[in-house]
Amino acid sequence: MSEPIRVVVTGAAGQIAYSLLYMIAKGDVFGADQTLILHLLDIVPMAGVLEGVVMELADCALPLLRQVVPTTDPAVAFKDVSAAFLVGAMPRKEGMERKDLLASNVTIFKAQGEALDKYAKKDVKVLVVGNPANTNALVCSHYAPSIPRENFTAMTRLDQNRARAHIAVKVNVPVDDVKNVIIWGNHSATQFPDAKHATAKIGLVEKSVYDAINNQSYLEEDFVSIIQKRGAAVIAARKMSSAMSAAKAASDHMKDWWNGTSPGNFVSMAVVSDGSYGVPKDIVFSFPVEIKNKEWTIVQGLDVDEFARSKLEVTSQELLEEKEEAMAVCSQD
């Protein structure tokens, strides 16, 4: 067994964390040989709930979990962490404008960026789940200048998992036999779920999903819209937002970042744009990436046709607007 690593989960008293903490603590993310010290951060009014979560983690009797540190102090939460799951965020309340939500969250992610900068390991891997995830990741990175920008990512893996599962049902294969579905852009309704480069193993043959489904308008209209609206459909049914699936996606995202992707497979992660595929630089944009030695690289050379280009432009525009609003809030301080 290796030395324990410190991992922080924020929003630790919330519903995503309730599933995520168990996945992390039993070894799904960092492996069955990696012992862990879990730091749980939430806000002061949730300290009592957090105690209950700590009790349940103890009662799981998990061999990899060496210590749990519940706290409401970012200085304690981010101290020496190797990985950070930033789940906690201000939820959207009735009557709240998108702008107000963004402003509240900018304040949270600014403070957490500063705390990461001061207290975390310099090679910390940061995954932002709390919405608006892409722009929160950008803000967080901005306030943590001593940590490489590549270490800040936002989650679009839930959208990827949804898209992959949808296609698996459509072509009637196990989900593992579908690969390389891409989510481009923002984790919002402007995201572009793209099956153009996806393949499915049908029988023993790897087939293009476009050929297998053979219905371009379905793939470019219905499929795109179903995945874009899947979160809202879950809320309508459950009266609460996706939590188990969001936790699984966060676990998948960090697991791949930590361990790498297998040859020929790529995954979608929102990362700082370097201008690839004509996307504006310096926004946190979901791209297809491959990962080796804990470093992601954007997959290059995929064909982006006119239809895809128009979708990329819409989601880029939204991210540019979010960035502008976020930076305006930051500059008020």
- Active-site positions read 187
Minimum CB separation of residue 206 from ligand NAI in Å reads: 28
Binding site for ligand NAI (CB under 6 A): 10-11, 13-17, 41-43, 46, 87-91, 108, 129-131, 133, 155, 158, 187, 241-243, 246
Q: What is the longest distance spanned by two Cα atoms in the chain?
A: 60
Minimum CB separation of residue 300 from ligand NAI in Å reads: 25
Per DSSP, what are the bridge partners of residue 86?
10, 128
Compare residues 191 and 199 and give the one whose CB is closer to ligand NAI.
191
Compare residues 27 and 91 and give the one whose CB is closer to ligand NAI.
91
DSSP secondary structure string for all residues of 243-311: -HHHHHHHHHHHHHHHH-PPTT--EEEEEE--SGGGPPTTSEEEEEEEEETTEEEE-------HHHHHH
Provide the CA 216 distance to its chain's centre, in angstroms. 29
Q: How far apart are CA 37 and CA 25, in angstroms?
A: 9
Token pair of 195, please?
């099956």
Contact assessment for residue 113 and residue 142, using Cβ atoms and an 8 Å cutoff: yes
Compare residues 88 and 288 and give the one whose CB is closer to ligand NAI.
88
Compare residues 153 and 180 and give the one whose CB is closer to ligand NAI.
153
Q: How far apart are CA 280 and CA 125, in angstroms?
A: 23
7 is in an annotated binding site: no
Residue, CB closest to ligand NAI = 14
Q: In terms of residues, how long is the chain? A: 333
Minimum CB separation of residue 233 from ligand NAI in Å reads: 13
Minimum CB separation of residue 154 from ligand NAI in Å reads: 7
98 is in an annotated binding site: yes
Query: Which positions make up the binding site?
Result: 42, 92, 98, 105, 129-131, 162
Query: Which positions make up the binding site for NAD(+)?
Result: 42, 105, 129-131
Query: Which positions make up the binding site for substrate?
Result: 92, 98, 131, 162
